[in-house]
Each structure stands twice: as structure tokens, then as C-alpha cells.
Amino acid sequence: MTATVARARAGGLALVRAVPAWAWLTAIVALSAVGRFVLARRMPAPWIMVDELIYSELAKSFAAGGHFLVRDQPADGYGFVYPLLIAPAYRLFSSVPTVHATAQAINSVLMSLAAVPTYFLARRVLRPSLALVASLLAVAIPSMFYTGTLMTENAFYPLLVCVALLLVHVLDRPTAKNQLALLALCLLAYETRQQALALFPAVLTAPLLLGPRRALSRFRVLYGTVAGVVALALVVQGVRGESPLALLGAYETTGNRGYSAFKVAKWLMWHISELDLYLGVAPFAAFILLALSWQRLGRTERAFTAGAASLSAWIVVEVAAFATIPTVERIEERNMFYVAPLFFIALLLWIERGAWRPRTWAPVVAVGSALLIATIPFARFIGVSATADTLALLP
């Protein structure tokens, strides 16, 4: 019996290896897109207000006249990338149900494409088979649910993974061309969703994690370009007589209020705890253990760990600060699920590196990661808002 099972496993592995990675990746994207579209059709109309109505209006106006308008009024404070991507639905069809279904089909493809940059990011530190597992996990997260909504999450998710991929590449090969390309991609992400503002300090922090002494010289193009653009923006806004915060567009008000360090810290703990729950604990704990094994990692593995840590930290801090606003005050999982593939890759990398479990730290990290979830005041956050913003609380 044992010999038969062994032969079956060997045959199965041989079959898997016989199929090229690009074919598996194409199948993952295609099956995910079809499956997500079928599920998305259970949402026959917009329901996350007023966001979905705004982006549908922007897409409709661009399809009709090439301008981004909301009820015939300019709406420059919103990113143009997502409305541009779903505009063909409004250009091709006039029936509202058909337009909505077409936009959901576009969403399903967009979010499923996150598997592609996830695979190539994982390939930098993993063998092909595990990289395919990472790409599969990237399209198996609960937040793929947003393919049924007309929200920027659909475009921002694959874009952020692309930023992570290019960031790790830049950390490994910091040429001037790569550094400028990274900043350009961050700008594209910002034009998709203003939350991408956190990407800029993240890409500036990541090189420092690899070694602050050499960061300024090796990444001088990165730091110099950012410093120059910030200085130019301040001058331009000053000449216009406008606040620099006006560059935040529709989210300008978030910069015009004070933030309590204690309150932000409290919400940061809750957001970290909820992210831990969302990921299923194991990827969260593995990421910490991977960081603790820094000295055991190779150059590319360190680049991945530094990039993933910087992106995750800045995004979660930004979201936690946003959550302290009186009109929000809820865990905004919807704004931080984008980092999930980074943790999945970290888990697989930790396993491939031998699942290093130091006697001193492993029990502390494992138990701490599990108990961290208990800090969430579930009674406070499980409610109507969770259905749109905090999916991990629903079960």
C-alpha cells in the first residue's frame, strides 16, 4: 500500500512538473476570474455608498465625453485609473444591468491578475511550485469579494503587489532606472487610490532596513527625486495660495485634523490584531520568525523581507490613523488586505528555509500571534459596517 501511494505521488508530481509554470498561472487567473464573476453576479446593484456611485459616475462621464464628472460637476479629487478601466462597460452598453455586469467582469479579471505579480515576487525567493501556491493564495482571500463592487480595490490590489515586486527588485538592483520606475509606479497607484500616499515613505524606509549607512549613496536617485518633487509641490501650492494637503484630493480633510498618538497606537494594535486574524495567524507568525532569522537570509531574501515589512508597516499605520477619525472609528480591513500576499510568501519562504523555530522565540511568537486576536473588542466591531469593511469578523 505504501509503495502504491508513493508511486501515485511521484506520478502526480511528475504531471505537475510537466506543465509549464505559465500554464498553471494562466489557469489560476482564468479560473479565479470566472469564479469571481459568478459570485459577483449575486450583487445586482451598487450598495457601498456613496463610493460605488461616485466611481460609476466618473466612468460613465469619461465614456461619454472624456471628462471625469459627477453629475456634470468636475471631480478632480478622485483617482482616474479605476474609472478609466471600467469606462468601456459604459461605452459599449446602455442597459444599466448589462453595464454593471460588464464592470463586474472587468473587476474579476483585474483582481485575479494579482496572481501574476505575486508569482514573480515569490519566484525571487521561492522555487516555482511554491511560487504558484503563493499566487493561488493571493486570489483565495476573502477580499476578492470586492469584485462585485465598483470600488478602487479592484485595481489597487494588483497594483500594490506590482509595487512590492518592483521594490524588492530595486532593493536588489538599485539602478537609477529602476528607482525612477518604482516612483512612477507608486504615482500610478496614487492616481488609483489616494491611500497609496503611504507607499512613498514605505519605499524610502525599505533601503534603510538593509543598511542605513549605504542607503543614501546607493539610493540617491530615489531620495533626491522624492525630495525634489516634494519641494516643487510645496512651491507650486504656495504660489497657488493653496495648502499642500489639497494634493490629497477628496481626502484633504484627513490631513486637517489632529491625531492623538495614544489613540492611533490603540487603533494600530486593533488593526494588527485583525490582520493577524484575517491571515489565519500562521502567515503572521511566520513573517515575524522570518524577520528574526535575518542573519540566516540571503541578499534577495533580505530585500524581500525589508520591502514587505516596510510596505506592511506604513500601510497599517496609515489605516490605523485614518480609523481614529470620529466619522470612521472601525477596523478598516478593506484598506489593508492588499499586503496579504506578502505574508503568504513569507510563510512559504519560512517553510522552504527549514521552518526555523528557535527555542527562545518560537513559542513566544506562536502563542503571542494567537493571543493577539483576543485583544479585539469583537462586540464593538461586529455590526453592519463589518459587512463592507471587515470581512474577517463575519464568520
Q: Give the pLDDT score at 6.
A: 60
Q: Give the pLDDT score at 213.
A: 86
User: The C-alpha cell of 16 is what?
Assistant: 505537475
- The helix/strand/coil state of 250 is helix
Angle at 12 between CA 11 and CA 15, to 5 degrees: 85
* Contacting residues for 98 by C-beta, under 8 A, at least 6 apart: none
Distance in angstroms (rounded) separating the CA atoms of residues 307 and 303: 6
Instruction: Write out the residue range of the structural domain in which residue 157 sits.
Output: 19-393
Reported pTM: 0.94
Query: Residue 104: inside a domain, yes or no?
Result: yes
Query: Residue 101: inside a domain, yes or no?
Result: yes
Contact status, residue 93 vs residue 99, Cβ threshold 8 Å: yes
* Contacting residues for 264 by C-beta, under 8 A, at least 6 apart: 317, 320, 321, 324
Q: What angle in degrees, to the nearest 10, is found between the helix axes of 153-172 and 81-92?
A: 140
Query: Residue 210: inside a domain, yes or no?
Result: yes
- Chain mean position to CA 141: 12
Closest to 370 measured CA to CA, from 312, 283, 298 = 283
Buried b vs exposed e over 232-261: b needs ≥16 C-beta within 10 Å? eeeeeeeeeeeeeeebbeebbebeeeeeee
User: The C-alpha cell of 300 is what?
Assistant: 534577495
Query: Residue 383: inside a domain, yes or no?
Result: yes
Q: How far apart are the first and last CA of the chain?
A: 40
Q: Give the pLDDT score at 11.
A: 57
Distance in angstroms (rounded) separating the CA atoms of residues 28 and 356: 30
User: The C-alpha cell of 284 is what?
Assistant: 503572521
Query: Residue 10: inside a domain, yes or no?
Result: no
Contact status, residue 272 vs residue 288, Cβ threshold 8 Å: no
Encode the chain (395 residues) as per-residue pLDDT tens digits: 566 656 656 555 566 678 999 999 999 999 999 999 999 999 999 999 999 999 999 999 999 999 999 988 888 778 999 999 999 999 999 999 999 999 999 999 999 999 999 999 999 999 999 999 999 999 999 999 999 999 999 999 999 999 999 999 999 999 999 999 999 999 999 999 999 999 999 999 999 999 988 898 999 999 999 999 999 988 887 888 877 777 676 666 666 678 899 999 999 999 999 999 999 999 999 999 999 999 999 999 999 999 999 999 999 999 999 999 999 999 999 999 999 999 999 999 999 999 989 888 999 999 999 999 999 999 999 999 899 999 999 99
DSSP state of 175: -
Query: Residue 4: inside a domain, yes or no?
Result: no
Q: How many residues does the chain have?
A: 395
* β-sheet bridge partners, residue 74: 69
Query: Residue 102: inside a domain, yes or no?
Result: yes
Number of domains in the chain: 1
Number of H helices, E strands in the chain: 19, 2
Query: Residue 14: inside a domain, yes or no?
Result: no
Closest to 114 measured CA to CA, from 58, 45, 151, 164 = 164
User: The C-alpha cell of 154 is what?
Assistant: 479592484
Contact status, residue 136 vs residue 348, Cβ threshold 8 Å: no
How many of the other CB atoms lie within 10 Å of CB of 181? Answer: 14
Main-chain phi, psi angles of 177, to 5 degrees: -60, -45
Tracing cell 465614456 back to the chain, one arrives at 63
